[in-house]
Amino acid sequence: MARLPSKVHLTSHPIQLMILGPSVYEDEKKRMWLHLAMETGGVVQVRLRRENLPSGHTALTTCPQTSSTMPLMWTLYPGSQYVDFMGRFWRIVHHIKEDGVEEMMLEKKDNSEGM
């Protein structure tokens, strides 16, 4: 019999996500999150997946291209959202753990300036 995927909606979010390298953020618990930015119909979304990366996988400096297009840091803000270092707000679309993999989707709010 096939095993059904286990999907859990999480309500405890990282307090802070800080850019560590070209595609990697680190939270306050030193956990690594890989990101993928997407823009569909003018809506900017960022998918973050928590990964166990080998030590030394990322450089401790940011890539110029990444730092110019992605926030250097997100801080959890009341109301299921994050605020980035430029004061833009990002709504938490979902934060799930499925088959042991944690994923969070953020969406830039309409009243925030371009990415």
pLDDT digits (tens, 9 = 90+) for 24-81: 999 999 999 999 999 988 899 999 999 876 655 554 443 444 445 789 999 999 989 9
Q: Per the structure block, which two tokens stand in for 83? A: 């605020």
For the entire predicted model, the pTM comes to 0.80
* pLDDT at residue number 3: 67
Identify the domain containing residue 69 by its residue range. Answer: 7-108
Establish if 29 belongs to a structural domain.
yes
Question: Which of 97, 93, 75 is closest to 84 using CA atoms?
Answer: 75
Domain count, the chain: 1
* pLDDT at residue number 46: 95
Question: Which of 96, 92, 89, 94 is closest to 110 using CA atoms?
Answer: 89
Establish if 103 belongs to a structural domain.
yes
Please list, in sequence order, all residues whose beta carbon lies within 8 angstroms of the beta carbon of residue 39, skipping any fewer than 6 positions away: 45, 115
* pLDDT at residue number 21: 84
Establish if 115 belongs to a structural domain.
no
* pLDDT at residue number 88: 95
Establish if 52 belongs to a structural domain.
yes
At which residue do the structure tokens 């618990």 appear?
29
Count of beta carbons in the 10 Å neighbourhood of residue 91: 16
Kindly report the CATH number assigned to the domain that includes residue 96.
Answer: 2.40.15.10
